C-alpha cells in the first residue's frame, strides 16, 4: 500500500515536472568548454537543463594543449569568473603549474597561464554539473532541431528520442561532420577517440542556416618515461601564485615544470621532404587552419629562414605518462611524425602514445547570429564556442556563458546581455564574430582590442562583477568581497596622494637599490609613476604605508591605475567618442537597397550583417567612413 502510494507520488512529481516527457527548459548540445558554461549558467538561474553530449567521459575535455590562459585568454577567464562562470574555479582547482607571462611588460599584456591536469579538470567540471539538481546529462548525438513558426521547440537524437525545450544552445566544437587526417589517411571523427556528429549540419541547412568548413590540428602525445629531460631546458612555474578565480580558499598544490627543446635542420629536412604527403598541401582539407597556431610544417615553410622553432614539453596530468609536445602540431603521416619527433633533442627514443592529426569540421559563420549569440533566423536557438568559428577553450567558454545567460533571458523575456567592446574581451570577441566575416579560426589576441589598456586581467572583476551579481550568477558574499576590494583600491590610491616621500639620505639609500634617486621630496603617488618603483618600494620608504596590510591583487591594481593614468584616461575618452556612433541605432527593418550614395557592395554587406548601430556598421570590413556619413545623415533625419 505504502509502496504504491510512493510510486504514485513519484509518478505525479515526474509527470508534473515533465521529465518523463523529455521536457526541459533548455537543451545544450555539447559538453565542451562552451557547453559546460552554458549549462551551469542556465541551471544556476533555475532552469532545467539537458546536456546532450557525444561521450560523457569527455566532458570539458582539453583535446589540444592542457593549458588555460595566456595572453588575452587569461583576461577572458577572469571575465568569465566575474560574470559567474566556472572556468577560473576549475582551473584553480586542477593546475599543475601557474605562471604569469610578460610580468616585466605593460599591464595590458600581462597574462596568467595554467598548465592543467587534464583528467582532473574534466572530472571537476563533471562533478559541478552532476551536483547541480537542475542538470541532466545524456550521452547521445543530437541529429535534428525542431522548429515551429520560426521558434525552436526541441531536438531529436540519433536514437529517435525527442526532447522539448524553449531554447537550444549548440556548442558542438570540432564534431559537426568532423573528419580526422593523418597524412593521406582520413576517417570520420570529431576528435581522436570520439565519433563525429553526423546529421545536425543537414538539419541546420534545412532551416536555412549556412555552415562552412574550418580545420585545426594537434601534436602527438609521447610517453614521459621515454623522454630525456636532461637534454632540455627546465621551465618552472611561479613560486608566488596568482589565481584566475575571485573565489576564496583556492587550493595550494604542488607544481610541476615544463621543458623546452628546439627543432633543428634534421627536423626541417624531414618535413620538407614529406610535404607532398600532407593532406593540406594535397588539397584534401578545404578548411582554413588557425593562423596564430600553425602546424610545424606551416612554420617551416612560411619561416624558411628560421633554423629552429621552440617546442615545449608539457605534462598532461599526474595520473598519466602522456606528455604534450607544444608547437609541434602536424598532419603529416604517422611514420614521418615518428622521425620528426625523434629528431628533437631529448626525444630520440620517444614512444608515441597518440599521433598528431588535423581535423576538419563544420562551423556556423557567426554573422548569422546577433550579439546575444541567438540565431537571426530561429528564435531561441543559440550558438557558442568553436561552432562560431573560434579556436580555444577560453574563447569557447566565454561565448558559452553568454549564450547560456541569453537562453535564460530569452525564456524569461528579459533584456539580452550584449557586452560592448569597451566593457570586455568577451564583448570584443563576440562583436568581431558577428560583424566580420571570419575566414580562419578566430583566436583572442590583445591586439584585437582598441581598448586593451582598459581591458586587463587585473580589472575584469571591476568591469563585470556588478553584471554577474545583477544576473544572479554572483552571490552576495562574493559581491561583498568584491565591493570591499574596490573600496580598498579607491581609498589607498587616494591616500598615496597624501603621503610625502622626503628626498633625504635614508630615502636615497633605499632608492639606490632600484637605480633611482630623489632630488626633491614628492608624493608617493608621483614616485610610483616611475617605471622602477612599485608599491612594495613605497612600503620600504614609508612606515605608514608599510603598516597597511593590503592584498597583492589590490596593490597591483593600484600600481596600474597610478602608473598608466594618462593612457587610461586617453582610452576612456576614445570609449566616449565611440559611444557617439553607438547612439545611432539602425532600425531592424531598414531596406539598404533603397539608400542612395552607397555602393552595392556596401548595401550587400549591410543587408547580410544587419548591424544594430553605426558603431557596429563602421567595424564591418570594407565599409568606408563615407558610407557611415551617409547613414548618419539619414538616421539623423529619420528619412529611412
Ligand atoms: C584536434 C584539435 C586541435 C585543436 N587545436 C587547438 C589549438 O591549436 N589552439 C586552440 O586554441 N584550440 C585548439 N583546439 C580547440 C579547442 O579544443 C576548442 O577550441 C575548444 O575545445 C572548443 O570548445 P567547444 O566547447 O566549442 O567545443 P568542444 O570542446 O570541442 O566540445 C564540443 C562538444 O560537443 C559535443 N557534440 C558535438 N556535436 C554533438 C551533437 N550533435 N550531439 C551531442 N553532442 C555533440 C562533443 O561531444 C563535445 O563534447 C583544438 C581542438 C582539437 C579537437
For 6-35, what is each residue's pLDDT tens digit? Answer: 554 554 444 444 444 699 999 999 999 999
pLDDT digits (tens, 9 = 90+) for 336-379: 999 999 999 999 999 999 999 999 999 999 999 999 999 999 99
Q: What was the pLDDT predicted at 139?
A: 98
- In 3D space, the residue among 207, 561, 209 whose CA is nearest the CA of residue 366 turns out to be 209
Which of 537, 568, 599 finishes a domain? Answer: 568
User: What CATH number has the domain bearing residue 509?
Assistant: 1.10.10.1800
Band of pLDDT at residue 107, cut at 50, 70 and 90: confident
Cβ-based neighbours of 119, under 8 Å, separated by 6 or more = 317, 319, 320
Which of 471, 488, 506 finishes a domain? Answer: 471
Does residue 351 sit in the same domain as residue 306?
Answer: yes
pLDDT digits (tens, 9 = 90+) for 477-506: 999 999 999 999 999 999 999 999 999 999
pLDDT above 90: residue 105: no
Expressed in angstroms, the distance from the first to the final Cα of the chain is: 73
Q: What was the pLDDT predicted at 17?
A: 46
Residue 9 lies in a domain: no
Does residue 244 sit in the same domain as residue 280?
Answer: yes
Does residue 274 sit in the same domain as residue 158?
Answer: no
pLDDT digits (tens, 9 = 90+) for 39-75: 999 999 999 999 999 999 999 999 998 999 999 999 9
What range does the domain containing 278 cover?
A: 221-358
Answer whether 106's CB lies under 8 Å from 143's CB. no
User: What CATH number has the domain bearing residue 122?
Assistant: 3.50.50.60
- 144 alpha-carbon distance from chain centroid: 27
Does residue 388 sit in the same domain as residue 421?
Answer: yes
Band of pLDDT at residue 638, cut at 50, 70 and 90: low
Task: Report the distance separating Cα 347 and Cα 163, nearest Å.
Answer: 50
Q: What was the pLDDT predicted at 156?
A: 98
- In 3D space, the residue among 365, 353, 286, 280 whose CA is nearest the CA of residue 320 turns out to be 353
**Per the confidence metrics, is the pTM higher than 0.85?**
yes
Q: What was the pLDDT predicted at 245?
A: 96
| For ligand 1, atom 41: residue with the closest CA | 142
Does residue 351 sit in the same domain as residue 456?
Answer: no
- How far is the centre of ligand 1, averaged over its atoms, from the C-alpha of 455 (Å)? 26
- How far is the centre of ligand 1, averaged over its atoms, from the C-alpha of 416 (Å)? 26
Answer whether 228's CB lies under 8 Å from 378's CB. no
Residue 73 lies in a domain: no
- DSSP at 197: B
Residue 435 lies in a domain: yes
Residue 575 lies in a domain: no
What percentage of the chain exceeds 90 in pLDDT? 77
Q: What was the pLDDT predicted at 403?
A: 98
Does residue 434 sit in the same domain as residue 517?
Answer: no
Q: What was the pLDDT predicted at 3?
A: 54
- How far is the centre of ligand 1, averaged over its atoms, from the C-alpha of 584 (Å)? 38
Task: Report the distance separating Cα 230 and Cα 210, nearest Å.
Answer: 51
Does residue 458 sit in the same domain as residue 501?
Answer: no
Which of 358, 380, 407 finishes a domain? Answer: 358
Q: Where does ligand 1 bind, in terms of residues with CB under 6 Å?
A: 29-35, 52-55, 58, 63-64, 141-142, 171-175, 190-191, 194, 197, 200, 216-218, 290, 293, 359, 385-386, 391-393, 396
| Number of folded domains that form the chain | 4
| For ligand 1, atom 19: residue with the closest CA | 392
Ligand 1 pocket check: which of 172, 373, 433 to mutate, most ligand atoms within 8 Å of Cβ?
172
Does residue 462 sit in the same domain as residue 483?
Answer: no
- 320 alpha-carbon distance from chain centroid: 26
pLDDT above 90: residue 593: no
Task: Report the distance separating Cα 313 and Cα 233, nearest Å.
Answer: 10
User: What CATH number has the domain bearing residue 606?
Assistant: 1.10.150.570
120 membership: H or E segment, kind and range: helix 118-130
Task: Report the distance separating Cα 409 and Cα 194, nearest Å.
Answer: 33
Atom of ligand 1 nearest to the CA of 141: 42
Band of pLDDT at residue 574, cut at 50, 70 and 90: confident
- DSSP at 379: B
pLDDT above 60: residue 640: no
pLDDT digits (tens, 9 = 90+) for 287-330: 888 887 889 999 999 898 999 999 999 999 999 999 999 999 99
Q: What is the mean pLDDT of residues 201-222?
A: 97
Does residue 245 sit in the same domain as residue 272?
Answer: yes
- DSSP at 375: B
Residue 146 lies in a domain: yes
Q: What is the mean pLDDT of residues 191-208?
A: 97
Residue 625 lies in a domain: yes
Q: What was the pLDDT predicted at 476?
A: 97
| For ligand 1, atom 16: residue with the closest CA | 392
pLDDT digits (tens, 9 = 90+) for 389-435: 999 999 999 999 999 999 999 999 999 999 999 999 999 999 999 99
Residue 72 lies in a domain: no
Does residue 398 sit in the same domain as residue 504?
Answer: no
User: What CATH number has the domain bearing residue 276?
Assistant: 2.40.30.260
- How far is the centre of ligand 1, averaged over its atoms, from the C-alpha of 31 (Å)? 9
Ligand 1 pocket check: which of 386, 399, 402 to mutate, most ligand atoms within 8 Å of Cβ?
386
Residue 499 lies in a domain: yes
244 to 89, 103, 461: CA distances (angstroms): 7, 15, 11
Strands 67-69 and 142-148: unpaired
Does residue 436 sit in the same domain as residue 508?
Answer: no
545 membership: H or E segment, kind and range: helix 543-547
Does residue 521 sit in the same domain as residue 408?
Answer: no
Q: What was the pLDDT predicted at 21?
A: 61
Amino acid at each position: 500500500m505504502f509502496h504504491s502510494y510512493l510510486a504514485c507520488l513519484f509518478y505525479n512529481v515526474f509527470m508534473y515536472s515533465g521529465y518523463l516527457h523529455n521536457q526541459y527548459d533548455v537543451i545544450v548540445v555539447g559538453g565542451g568548454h562552451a557547453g559546460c558554461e552554458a549549462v551551469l549558467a542556465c541551471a544556476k538561474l533555475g532552469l532545467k537543463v539537458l546536456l546532450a553530449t557525444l561521450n560523457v567521459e569527455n566532458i570539458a575535455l582539453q583535446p589540444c594543449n592542457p593549458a588555460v590562459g595566456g595572453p588575452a585568454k587569461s583576461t577572458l577567464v577572469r571575465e568569465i569568473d566575474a560574470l559567474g562562470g566556472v572556468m577560473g574555479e576549475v582551473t584553480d582547482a586542477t593546475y599543475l603549474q601557474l605562471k604569469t607571462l610578460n610580468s616585466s611588460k605593460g599591464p595590458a599584456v600581462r597574462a596568467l597561464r595554467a598548465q592543467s591536469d587534464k583528467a582532473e579538470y574534466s572530472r571537476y567540471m563533471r562533478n559541478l554539473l552532476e551536483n547541480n539538481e537542475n542538470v541532466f546529462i545524456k550521452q547521445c548525438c543530437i541529429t535534428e532541431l525542431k522548429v515551429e513558426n520560426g521558434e525552436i521547440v526541441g531536438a531529436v537524437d540519433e536514437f529517435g528520442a525527442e526532447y522539448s525545450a524553449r531554447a537550444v544552445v549548440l556548442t558542438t566544437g570540432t564534431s559537426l561532420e568532423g573528419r580526422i587526417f593523418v597524412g593521406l589517411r582520413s576517417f570520420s571523427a570529431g576528435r581522436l577517440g570520439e565519433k563525429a556528429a553526423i546529421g545536425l549540419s543537414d538539419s541546420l541547412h534545412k532551416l536555412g542556416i549556412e555552415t562552412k568548413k574550418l580545420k585545426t590540428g594537434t601534436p602527438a602525445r609521447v610517453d614521459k618515461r621515454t623522454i630525456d629531460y636532461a637534454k632540455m631546458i627546465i621551465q618552472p612555474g611561479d613560486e608566488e601564485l596568482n589565481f584566475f578565480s575571485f573565489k576564496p580558499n583556492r587550493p595550494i598544490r604542488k607544481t610541476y615544470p615544463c621543458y623546452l627543446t628546439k627543432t633543428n635542420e634534421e627536423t626541417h629536412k624531414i618535413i620538407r621532404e614529406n610535404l607532398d604527403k600532407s593532406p593540406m598541401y594535397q588539397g584534401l582539407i578545404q578548411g582554413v587552419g588557425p593562423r596564430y597556431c600553425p602546424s610545424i610544417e606551416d612554420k617551416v615553410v612560411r619561416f624558411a629562414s628560421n633554423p629552429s622553432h621552440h617546442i615545449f614539453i608539457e605534462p598532461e596530468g599526474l595520473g598519466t605518462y602522456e606528455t604534450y609536445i607544444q608547437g609541434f602540431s602536424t598532419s603529416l603521416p604517422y611514420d614521418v611524425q615518428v622521425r620528426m619527433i625523434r629528431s628533437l633533442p631529448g626525444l630520440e627514443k620517444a614512444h608515441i602514445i597518440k599521433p598528431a592529426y588535423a581535423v576538419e569540421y563544420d562551423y556556423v559563420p557567426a554573422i548569422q547570429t546577433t550579439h546575444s549569440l541567438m540565431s537571426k533566423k530561429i528564435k531561441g536557438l543559440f550558438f557558442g564556442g568553436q561552432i562560431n568559428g573560434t579556436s580555444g577553450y577560453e574563447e569557447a567558454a566565454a561565448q558559452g556563458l553568454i549564450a547560456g545567460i541569453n537562453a535564460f533571458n530569452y525564456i524569461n523575456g528579459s533584456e539580452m546581455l550584449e557586452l560592448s567592446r569597451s566593457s570586455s574581451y568577451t564583448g570584443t570577441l563576440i562583436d568581431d564574430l558577428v560583424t566580420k566575416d571570419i575566414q580562419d579560426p578566430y583566436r583572442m589576441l590583445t591586439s584585437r582590442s582598441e581598448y586593451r589598456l582598459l581591458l586587463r586581467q587585473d580589472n575584469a572583476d571591476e568591469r563585470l562583477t556588478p553584471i554577474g551579481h545583477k544576473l544572479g550568477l554572483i552571490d552576495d558574499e562574493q559581491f561583498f568581497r568584491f565591493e570591499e576590494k574596490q573600496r580598498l583600491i579607491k581609498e589607498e590610491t587616494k591616500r598615496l596622494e597624501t603621503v610625502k616621500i622626503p628626498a633625504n639620505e635614508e630615502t636615497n639609500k633605499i632608492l639606490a637599490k632600484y637605480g633611482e634617486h630623489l632630488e626633491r621630496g614628492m608624493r608617493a603617488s608621483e614616485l610610483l609613476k616611475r617605471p622602477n618603483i612599485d608599491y612594495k618600494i613605497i612600503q620600504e620608504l614609508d612606515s605608514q604605508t608599510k603598516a597597511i596590510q593590503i592584498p597583492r591583487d589590490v596593490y597591483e591594481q593600484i600600481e596600474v591605475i597610478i602608473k598608466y593614468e594618462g593612457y587610461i584616461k586617453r582610452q576612456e575618452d576614445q570609449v566616449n567618442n565611440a559611444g557617439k556612433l553607438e547612439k545611432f541605432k539602425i532600425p531592424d527593418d531598414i531596406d539598404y537597397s533603397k539608400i542612395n550614395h552607397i555602393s552595392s557592395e556596401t548595401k550587400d554587406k549591410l543587408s547580410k550583417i544587419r548591424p544594430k548601430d553605426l558603431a557596429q556598421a563602421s567595424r564591418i570590413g570594407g565599409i568606408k567612413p563615407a558610407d557611415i556619413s551617409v547613414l548618419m545623415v539619414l538616421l539623423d533625419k529619420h528619412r529611412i
